[in-house]
Every structure is written in structure tokens, then in C-alpha cells.
Amino acid sequence: MTKSEMIRIVQSQLAIDLNCTVDELNGGKDEVIFKTVADNVGRRPFPRGEHHFEMLTMGGSLIISAAEEILEIVKVKLMNKNRDEAFSMPFLCGYLPDIDRLSPLVAPEDFVFEFVEQANISSLYDINGFDHAIGSKVNELRPDVLAIVAKMGEQIVGMAGASADGVQMWQIGIDVLPEFRNRGLAAYLVNSMTIEILRRGKVPYYCCLPSNVSSQRVAYRSGYYPVWVSTYKGSFV
């Protein structure tokens, strides 16, 4: 899968999610586009409350998608703001693999690594310390479909998980126990998961807060580059 193919898939998915078109998503950098939220066929099934609000840019226009009554409120607040001013509120950075730079990392020594398929992931839910990697129970809307664990002896000390957020896009989460951090485990696990997801014909993606510098470093070391910025509130009150 090429970089341009992944971008095309992600743009199509984000357009469905935000109820806009790909052309609107790629509009001018000073353009603010307001859209009423809609449960379009194929959207990623993240929870949406009665007062949903979402804002996203891929470097072009700013797309704001919200419940109708919320849209009237945010129009007043954001109509005359530029993109940077609008994103002074909390937001997420979305990353995709840089195919030109992505290559397998060398496994850290002293650990054993094992992939866990979807049918067996439920056996991992009772293990503490890995809430960012996988869920705590079966999620029918965004199921955990793959995990890779790092073991020292019989103890699981690190884990990367993939959730099927859409038909073509799988999101990667990562957790490493505190006493085993700074040993290259996080980058190796995310990198290995990324390569495996691509092998299965899906688009892996990774998200983190801009204030989470360590997570950004993991993304870069694993072979990712930033593609979009968004903010998401299931209930804007």
C-alpha cells in the first residue's frame, strides 16, 4: 500500500465521519466549513452524545461537525477565528505510517514477543496496566482485532493493540509497564503491529495529544508522520 493510497482512504473515511466531502476537506487553509453531524453509512463508530462536537483539519480547511443545536453555538464562537485560534482547545494528532521510512525495528533484548489474534484477546482483558492498548471488555462497535505482547518470563510487560475503528482503518494503542519503559519496547511493539496491519491490507493509524511528547516520539521512531489534527467531544455542554 502506497502513501497516496493510505491518504486517499483516510480522507474518504474522515469525510464520511464529519459529513463533508473530500473536496471540502482539502479546501483553503482560511476556510471554515460547518456541517451538521450525521450517522453516515461507514462512519467509525465512536460514541456520539446528544451534544456532539468535532473539529478537524488535514492542513487545508477547518471542518466543524456538530449536532444542529451545538452548531449554532460554535458558529458564533468560531466563525471569525483562524485555524490556529480555533485549535487553542484540546486536540489530537493523527499519524499514518511513512511508507518511505517504515522498516522493521530490531527487537529489544531479554523479551519474548507474541501476536494474539482476535479470538483470544479476551484473555488479556483482566491484566492490569494496558488500558491504552486494548479495551477492558468486548466492544462490538470498535472491536480489538489484534494484539502483540512483550513478555519477560511469564509476565506481560508491554502490549500494543489494534481496534477496528472502520472497515479499512485500525487504530493502534500502546502500553508498557513503568519499570520497563525507555528500553525501546513501545516503538518496537507499535512498529511490529503497524507492519502486520499493513500486511493484512488495512490502514494502521496512531493518535496522541500534542502535549504527550513521549507518545509523539514513539510515533516517529515507529515510522509514522503527522497527517491530521482534530478535536472530539461526544457531548459539548
pLDDT, tens digit (0-9, with 9 covering 90-100), for 220-237: 999 999 998 787 666 555
| Residue 210 binned pLDDT confidence (cut-offs 50, 70, 90) | confident
131 pLDDT exceeds 70? yes
pTM: 0.77
C-alpha span between 39 and 44 (Å, rounded): 9
90 pLDDT exceeds 60? no
Numbered ranges of CATH 3.40.630.30 in the chain: 112-226
| Residue 98 binned pLDDT confidence (cut-offs 50, 70, 90) | very high
- For domain 112-226, is the CATH number 3.40.50.450? no
C-alpha span between 165 and 220 (Å, rounded): 22
pLDDT of 187? 98
Least reliable range by pLDDT among 76-80, 129-133, 217-221:
76-80
**Of 10-14, 49-53, 55-59, 208-212, which has the strongest mean pLDDT?**
10-14
